Structure 1
Amino acid sequence: MEKIAIIELDTTKIKLVFADVISNKSFLVYDHVDVPINLMKEFNNENIIKSTIIKDVVCILSVFKKMIDSEGITDVICVTTSKISEAKNQNGFLNEIFSITNLKFNILTPEQEINYIYTAVINSFNKPKALIVSVSNYQTEFLLYNRRNVLNTCVIPYGSINLAEKFEGLSTKEMMDKSKEFVYEQLKQYDWIFNLEEEYEIIGVGDVFLSLGEISRRARKYPLQLEHNYTLSSQDLNKVYDVVSNMEITKNSKIKGVSVDNTRSMPTGLAIISAIVNNGNKTELTISKNGLINGILLNTVIPLTLEKPISDNLGYSLQVLNEFYDKKPNNAEHVYDLSMILFKQLKVLHKLNRSYVRVLRVASYMYACGLRVTNDSPEKISFNIILNSQIYGVSHKELVLAAFTSILRDIDNFNLSDWVKYKDLVNEEDLDAVKKLAVILQIASSLDCTKFGNVIDVSCDILGDSVIMKTITKGEVPLEIRQAKLASVDFKRAYNKNLEIL
């Protein structure tokens, strides 16, 4: 298996990312290191990066280079922000880095940055129409897309740091309110940002959005600690805005759950977000954990994404987890196929809509992942893995339902108090659906308990108070049928029908 390293030199931090790679197929980030810096310290006086800062950067990058070499990685991508291009000594700075560390940095243009961010977002969300907003330190970028076609882009030269510098000396509330007004004035010429059609959503990218999500989840006592695909309302945003605006933010201040560096940029970052959301016609926004680096990885490892997005990001996401985490060979795909056959055959009984197909897909691919950790209660381990995995193309609610579908293959694992923890995401109708899906998964996994793949199809006849399942096979399946029949009691509870399997 190959490996790749990416270094991002930003104005406030240097980030190193390690990823395992299967060329032209998939990658998985397995480690990262963030080191805070202040690259632009006293920069505006002379537009020169100070020698002391250069020394610190070179020192950090020298350590990064040793870490990369120790991993045996030769494929290294180094990028830095377009803000560097404003430095009079940019060439000397980058040449010194190269001469000492042999790391050659590429200065990205704002257009390249937003394109990488678009690649990251479009390949990790099931959102056909959206406005992407990326708030960084010195600029804010916008991209509007419709069904994988980019419609509009724009960049304003104000981000969370230079906006704070512009209104320095004011109280936190005054700074935020004035920043909000200023940003709106900069943007009001772009009607397409504020007058989005009904089907469009807002997706936020960057540290400010991640910090907003962290504060919001804590305030709501949100049951999941997942950053990616977290959705909050404009009311949630305004609550966080009000709390932060009443704080006196200093250079040593820290908001709970947010780093010191991100706390300092939080007030003006929130002002930018508020200017966009509260002056527009949308009442919700969704947060993306994936940004620049993820986009670079996708374009590098899967060159096809340079031409078009991945057609099935949920399938890709499950494939990555299966590729890197599950023991080979495994039967995850076959169990999913059998589950889908049963889902369709029993449609007249369960009456579940197609949104539950994604739930069943995740559960059937990952129901056995707990076995990679322990043979002792693997269902419970699988439950936690599903809940804490970054799986693309599904909502947080669908992840919760998939986790319960997995664990309820054994109904004795069900605890109502566990379900109640997620009451803000699920309802009683979902519980009924999960019980029906869990039985489908139980039967499907049993029909391939040998992992021989001998059961290739199932035909269901619904006769009065009974369901007769006829297996179509390519070999003898006595054990598979014996194991599948053990689901008869649970099937009766979920579907109120007797089950016979032939």
Structure 2
Amino acid sequence: MIDGKLLNDIAMHKAVKTVKLYRKLCNSYGIPCNRIIGVATAAVRKAENREQFLRLLTSSTDINFRLLSGEEEASYAFKATIYSLNIHEGIIVDIGGGSTEIISFRNNSIINSISIPIGSVVATETFLGKDSIAPDCLAHLEDYVGKMLKEQSWLWQEKSRTLIGLGGIIRNLGKIHRKRIEYPINYAHNYEMSIDDFNTIYEELASLDLKSRRKVKGLSSKRADIIVGGLAILKAIISICSPSHIVTSGFGLREGILFDYIAGTNPRVKFKDALSFSLRNFMELYGIRKNHAKHVCFLALSMFDQLKPLHNYGDDVRKLLEVASLLHDIGISISYYEHHRHSFYIILNSRLTGLNHRETLLTAAIAASHSDDNFKEDWQRRYEKILLPEDIELWEKLSVFLKLAECLDRSEMAVIKSLECQVLGDTVKIQTIRDGDAELEISLANEHSNTFRKAFGKSLSVT
């Protein structure tokens, strides 16, 4: 792509052709050129003829392109992370083709950052080549990256932080791992893997020639030539900062730019945390009946809080009940009939941010269990690789709270304003404070007394 320090003509015209295709796609959706945000990154930044190339892009496509600095790339990577993951402290590593951005953050603020002028493409072309890889060349590359970072004391002063990986190389790493362990959810975002598993995959890929790498399950043939170079950069960073584990992000520069644009142009958008931001969007997107959903959520959380001596769960579990309650009817967007099953599918596959895979699965299962019909899908065995041993009991208990809350707003008129819950020996009494006739709601709730006893070992009386 780069001849010496110049972008060559073939590469520039190929880029123009690609941008024209994307412009055509945008126009087909009614998006004019002045609504398209164009940016250029490291490869253009390092080229001496960058101004010529940017003028060519703009004149050929009618799209204005902005050349990002390394600091701006890091900032967008950071925004993509905090707006999509419920992780408040760690190291972000965004490996591109021509540069790598590394950001240390805490409490949703950048503490330190650096952009180094080497990415997977540059590493491959400069140190490795694209076929068989000599061990001494690989060691030289790792050492080169390490020397670039040796003055950054903030990288090694704090150990055992989460490393969040952005970019196609790290997403592909996660996909290889998921294929290897037969992981039941094919979703890159918020996927976790250990450092030992990373080392195993890295060493294996480095030992293979290009033809053999292309046969590795999960590895994109388009990245088979450059993945070892990208992972060598990651290996060098891991050797310095000693993270506890790796979390792959499905969000990156593109989403960071989008989040920044939304926040800057729409004052109504208030970012509290990744989950709240995503949850609000999904309730709008799927047309959820907000009054009913919020009241069911209020009643379910009221029981959860007042009956804490029966379960002793904390805020991390309370969050699952809250999300499941707000989204329990989301399946109606497909069909009212069997909508609890549709709710399970939508939540599990919705890319709801702010929850990890296990939390998303449990939320989907809790939401699906709100119906009078038992949720009979074989989800527990199918997703056993994700679940913890105690999760089935957790699901059963939270499902009871949601079942009862759904019954207590069966008319969807919020007749029951609040609840008073008491544990009296072997019986749990739930007193309803009503504003109108709630005979239907109370009768339906009491029908779940056997389910309540099975989950909590106590009788239930709703009055």
TM value normalised by structure 1? 0.85
Question: Partner of 1:266 in structure 2?
Answer: 227
The alpha-carbon deviation at position 116 of structure 1 amounts to 0.8
Going from structure 1 to structure 2, the CA distance change for 1:378 and 1:173 (only over 3 Å counts) comes to: farther
Residue of structure 1 in register with 2:141 after alignment: 179
Paired position in structure 2 for 1:20 = none
Asked if 2 retains the 8 angstrom alpha-carbon contact of 1:367 and 1:406, the reply is yes
* Deviation by residue 1:67-106 (Cα, 9 ceiling, x = unmatched): 2222222322111114213334333332233223211111
Matched, 1:167 2:156: no
| Closer, same or farther: CA 251–282 of 1 in aligned 2, 3 Å | closer
Q: Which residue of 2 aligns with 1:49?
A: 8
Deviations 1:294-336 (A, max 9, x none): 1111111122999x99323211111111111234555222221
Percent identical residues: 30
Pairing partner for 2:341 from 380, 397, 400:
380
RMSD: 2.5
Report the alpha carbon displacement of residue 226 of structure 1 after superposing the two structures with TM. 1.8
List alignment gaps of at least 5 residues for structure 2.
none
Q: Counterparts in 2 of 1:348-387, with a 5 A limit?
A: 348-387=309-348
Q: Is residue 2:47 matched to residue 1:83?
A: no
CA change 1:63–1:424 in 2 (3 A) is: closer
Instruction: Verify: 1:395 aligned to 2:356, yes or no.
Output: yes
Alignment match, 1:96: 56
Matches within 5 A, 1:36-435: 40=1, 43-45=2-4, 47-50=6-9, 52-74=10-32, 75-169=35-129, 171-174=132-135, 175-198=137-160, 200-249=161-210, 253=214, 255-303=216-264, 310-328=271-289, 331-409=292-370, 410=372, 412-414=374-376, 418-435=379-396
What do residues 159-211 of structure 1 show as CA deviations (whole Å, max 9, x unaligned)? Answer: 1111111124583252433322322222222222133245x321111111101
Q: In 2, distance between residues paired with 1:46 and 1:152? A: 29
Number of residue equivalences: 457
Q: Secondary structure at the match of 1:500?
A: strand
Cα distance in 1 for partners of 2:114, 2:279 equals 34
CA separation in 2, counterparts of 1:304 and 1:455? 40
Matching residue of 1:14: none
Worse-superposed segment, 373-382 or 247-256: 247-256
For the 8 Å contact 2:288–2:329, the answer to whether it is kept is no
**Deviation for aligned residue 1:404:** 2.0
Displacement of 1:262 after TM fit?
1.8
> More deviation in 468-477 or 143-152?
468-477
Residue type of the alignment partner of 1:64? Y
Partner SS state of residue 412, structure 2: coil
Return the alpha-carbon distance in structure 2 between the equivalents of residues 461 and 438 of structure 1. 19
Q: What is the deviation of 1:143? A: 0.9
Note if contact 1:79-1:108 (Cα within 8 Å) is conserved in structure 2.
yes
Q: Alpha-carbon deviations, 1:123-176, whole Å to 9, x = none?
A: 222222111111111111111112122211112111111111112458325243
Cα gap change, 1:304/1:479 in structure 2, threshold over 3 Å: closer, same or farther? farther
Q: CA deviation at 1:110?
A: 0.8
Q: Return closer, same or farther for 1:268/1:46 CA change in 2, 3 Å cut-off.
A: closer
Q: Name the CA distance, whole Å, in 1 between partners of 2:45 and 2:238.
A: 31
Tell me which moved more, 488-497 or 60-69.
60-69
Contact 2:7 2:44 in 1 (8 A): no
TM (norm. structure 2) is: 0.92
Task: Provide runs of 4+ in structure 1 moved above 6 Å.
Answer: none
Partner amino acid, structure 2, of 1:227? A
Greater CA drift, 469-478 or 312-321: 469-478
- Which letter maps to 2:116? I
* Between structures 1 and 2, the one with greater strand share: 1
Give the counterpart letter for 1:381 in structure 2: H
Q: Distance in 2 between matches of 1:309 and 1:246?
A: 49
Alignment CA distance shift 1:452-1:173 (3 Å): farther
Letter aligned with residue 162 of structure 1: V
> Deviation at 1:453?
2.3
Q: Distance in 2 between matches of 1:127 and 1:96?
A: 41
Answer whether contact 1:205 1:290 (CA < 8 A) is retained. Answer: yes
Cα gap change, 1:147 to 1:304, in 2 (>3 Å): farther
Paired residues of 1:97 and 1:103 also in contact (CA < 8 A): yes
Further displaced range: 234-243 or 161-170: 161-170
Question: Is the deviation greater in 417-426 or in 182-191?
Answer: 417-426
Deviations 1:435-488 (A, max 9, x none): 010000011112122222232211112222222211123333233223322322
Using the TM superposition, name which of 133-142 and 84-93 deviates more.
84-93
- For the structure 1 residues 108 and 304, does the alpha-carbon distance in structure 2 shift closer, same or farther, using more than 3 Å as the test? same
Quick one: distance in 1 between partners of 2:303 and 2:125?
61
Q: CA deviation at 1:395?
A: 1.9
- The farther-off stretch of 332-341 and 106-115 is 332-341
Deviations 1:229-248 (A, max 9, x none): 11110111011112211210
Paired amino acid for 1:183: V
